[in-house]
Structure 1
Amino acid sequence: MSDYDYDLFVIGAGSGGVRAARLTALGGKKVAVAEEFRVGGTCVIRGCVPKKFMVMASEVSHALEIAEGYGWSFDNAKFDWPTFLEAKDVEIARLSGIYAANLGKAGVELVHGRAVLKDAHTVEIVGKNRTITAEKILIATGGRPWKPEDLPGIEHAITSEEAFHLPELPRRILIAGGGYIAVEFAGIFAGLGVETTLIYRGPNILRGFDDDVRAHLAGEIEKRGVKVVLGCQHKSIEKTAAGLVNHLENGMTLETDVVMFATGRIPYVKDLGLEAAGVELNDEGAIKVDPYSKTTADNIWAIGDVTDRMNLTPVAIREAVAFHQTVYRDSPQHFDYEAVATAVFSQPPVGVVGLTEAEARRSCSKGVDVYVTRFRPMKYAFTGSDERVLMKLVVDADSQRVVGVHIVGPDSPEMIQLAAIAVKAGLTKAQWDATCAVHPTMAEELVTLKEKQTPANMAAG
Structure 2
Amino acid sequence: MVSYDFDYFVIGGGSGGVRSARIAAQHGARVGIAEERYWGGTCVNVGCVPKKLLAMASHFAADFEDAAGFGWTVPAASHDWATLIARKDAEIGRLNGIYRTLLTNAGVTMFDARAVLVDAHTIQLGGDAGGKRVTADRILVATGGWPVLPDRPGVKEHAFTSNEAFHLERMPQRIVIVGGGYIAVEFAGIFHGLGAEVTLVHRGAMVLRGFDDDLRGHLAAEMGKSGITLRLSAEIDRIDKVGHALAVTLAGGEVIAADGVMYCTGRKPNSTGLGLEDLGIARDADGAIIVDDQYRTSVSNIYALGDVTDRLNLTPVAIAEGHALADTLFGGRPRVPSYENVATAVFSNPPIGTVGLTEAAARQRHGAVDVYRALFRPMRHTLSGRDERTLMKLVVDPKTDRVLGCHMVGIDAPEIVQGLAIALTCGATKAQFDATIGIHPTAAEEFVTMRTKVEAPASPGLAE
Q: Answer with 342-351 or 300-309: which moved more.
A: 300-309
Q: C-alpha separation between the residues in 2 aligned to 1:25 and 1:454?
A: 53
Q: C-alpha separation between the residues in 2 aligned to 1:295 and 1:448?
A: 48
Corresponding residue number in structure 2 for 1:406: 407
Corresponding residue number in structure 2 for 1:37: 37
Q: C-alpha separation between the residues in 2 aligned to 1:26 and 1:359?
A: 40
Matching residue within 314, 322, 325 for 1:323: 325
Corresponding residue number in structure 2 for 1:357: 359
8 A contact 2:28–2:330 mirrored in 1 = no
Q: C-alpha separation between the residues in 2 aligned to 1:316 and 1:307?
A: 10
How far has the Cα of 1:285 moved from its partner? 2.2
Q: Deviations over 1:71-118 (max 9, x none)?
A: 112223211111111111011000000100111111111101110111
Corresponding residue number in structure 2 for 1:236: 238
Identity among equivalent positions (%) equals 52
8 A contact 2:272–2:287 mirrored in 1 = no
Corresponding residue number in structure 2 for 1:340: 342
Q: C-alpha separation between the residues in 1 aligned to 2:168 and 2:285?
A: 35
Change (3 A) 1:74 1:136: same
How far has the Cα of 1:278 moved from its partner? 2.9
Q: C-alpha separation between the residues in 2 aligned to 1:34 and 1:68?
A: 52
Q: C-alpha separation between the residues in 2 aligned to 1:382 and 1:421?
A: 33
How far has the Cα of 1:151 moved from its partner? 4.1
How far has the Cα of 1:134 moved from its partner? 0.8
The one-letter code sitting in structure 2 at the alignment partner of 1:359 is A
Q: What does 1:415-430 align with in structure 2 at a 5 Å threshold?
A: 415-430=416-431
Which secondary structure state, in structure 2, belongs to the residue aligned with residue 91 of structure 1? helix
Corresponding residue number in structure 1 for 2:85: 85
Corresponding residue number in structure 1 for 2:388: 387
8 A contact 1:292–1:322 mirrored in 2 = no
8 A contact 1:154–1:236 mirrored in 2 = no
Corresponding residue number in structure 2 for 1:251: 253
Q: C-alpha separation between the residues in 1 aligned to 2:45 and 2:459?
A: 44
The one-letter code sitting in structure 2 at the alignment partner of 1:427 is A
Q: C-alpha separation between the residues in 2 aligned to 1:181 and 1:270?
A: 23
Q: Deviations over 1:41-93 (max 9, x none)?
A: 11101100000100011100011111111111222321111111111101100
Runs of 4+, deviation exceeding 6 Å: 456-459
Q: Deviations over 1:294-329 (max 9, x none)?
A: 111110011111011111111111001110121112
8 A contact 1:120–1:276 mirrored in 2 = no
How far has the Cα of 1:382 moved from its partner? 1.3
Kindly report the root-mean-square deviation, in angstroms, between the aligned alpha carbons of the 2 structures.
1.5
Which secondary structure state, in structure 1, belongs to the residue aligned with residue 423 of structure 2? helix
Q: C-alpha separation between the residues in 1 aligned to 2:409 and 2:223?
A: 11
Q: What does 1:106-145 align with in structure 2 at a 5 Å threshold?
A: 106-127=106-127, 128-145=130-147
Q: What does 1:8-23 align with in structure 2 at a 5 Å threshold?
A: 8-23=8-23
The one-letter code sitting in structure 2 at the alignment partner of 1:31 is V
2:49 aligned with 1:26: no
How far has the Cα of 1:250 moved from its partner? 2.1
Q: What does 1:173-192 align with in structure 2 at a 5 Å threshold?
A: 173-192=175-194
How far has the Cα of 1:218 moved from its partner? 0.1
Q: What does 1:267-278 align with in structure 2 at a 5 Å threshold?
A: 267-278=269-280
8 A contact 2:176–2:201 mirrored in 1 = yes
How many residues end up aligned between the 2 structures? 458
The one-letter code sitting in structure 1 at the alignment partner of 2:387 is D
Corresponding residue number in structure 1 for 2:452: 451
Q: C-alpha separation between the residues in 2 aligned to 1:29 and 1:382?
A: 59
How far has the Cα of 1:293 moved from its partner? 0.8
Q: C-alpha separation between the residues in 2 aligned to 1:456 and 1:300?
A: 47
How far has the Cα of 1:221 moved from its partner? 1.1
Q: Answer with 278-287 or 348-357: which moved more.
A: 278-287
Which secondary structure state, in structure 1, belongs to the residue aligned with residue 175 of structure 2? strand
Change (3 A) 1:458 1:379: closer
Gaps in structure 2 of 5+ consecutive residues: none
TM-score by length of 1: 0.97
8 A contact 1:210–1:358 mirrored in 2 = yes
Q: Answer with 256-265 or 279-288: which moved more.
A: 279-288
Q: C-alpha separation between the residues in 2 aligned to 1:7 and 1:14?
A: 20
Q: C-alpha separation between the residues in 1 aligned to 2:408 and 2:5?
A: 50
